[in-house]
Amino acid sequence: MDYPRNLGVGAPHPKYRHDVLQLYYAGIAYEMLGDLDNAEKLWKDALQRSADMVSEHKVFQALILKKLKRFSEADALLENIVREAELRIKDICERVGGAESSLARLLHYDDVLAYMFYVVGIAEIARGKMAQGLAEIDKALNINKAMRHARWIREGKFLFDIT
């Protein structure tokens, strides 16, 4: 199917699409059906996506690296994600005084902090540190209870394979 011409904008460049999670789970579905070729094809496509270092997309790229048995790359990526997120959290807290400050809420840094804690949480879970990851997820939810992916992880409804 071609991208519709009547939208008034061009199709997003494949490198910049934010569909890593979808490609990860579509690959899992293929894997469960026994179609490893299509699973690997989707996963390799997802690895070509460009994303900010501190994003759930990068965490899922690390999970894809694990599925492709590229464990050392996955571990290094997860370590970099956690390190960068923690630096950003520290920087934001020094600037605005934490998520509960009125300045943080005014500048929407509270949502940014919640997302950073969420990313650290899923990265730690992907590293096999479930308790530590859930503690970070709880920090995210304490700031912003509307983070549905964080809530789903906390409730056990949003799962991913960390092997």
| pLDDT score of 8 | 58
Q: pLDDT per residue over 77-113, tens digit each?
A: 999 999 999 999 998 888 887 777 777 677 777 888 9
pLDDT category at 4 given cuts 50, 70, 90 is low
Among the listed ranges 11-25, 70-84, 130-144, which one has the minimum average pLDDT value?
11-25
Residue 123: what residue type? Answer: A
Indicate the DSSP class of residue 3.
P
Q: What is the C-alpha separation between 23 and 12, in angstroms, rounded?
A: 16
Q: How far are the Cα atoms of 20, 34, 70, 99, 105 from residue 49, in angstroms, in the given order? A: 7, 25, 17, 30, 31
| pLDDT score of 44 | 96
Q: Looking at domain 70-158, which of 1.10.357, 1.25.40, 1.10.150, 1.10.3470 is its CATH number?
A: 1.25.40
Q: pLDDT per residue over 12-37, tens digit each?
A: 555 656 789 899 999 999 999 999 99
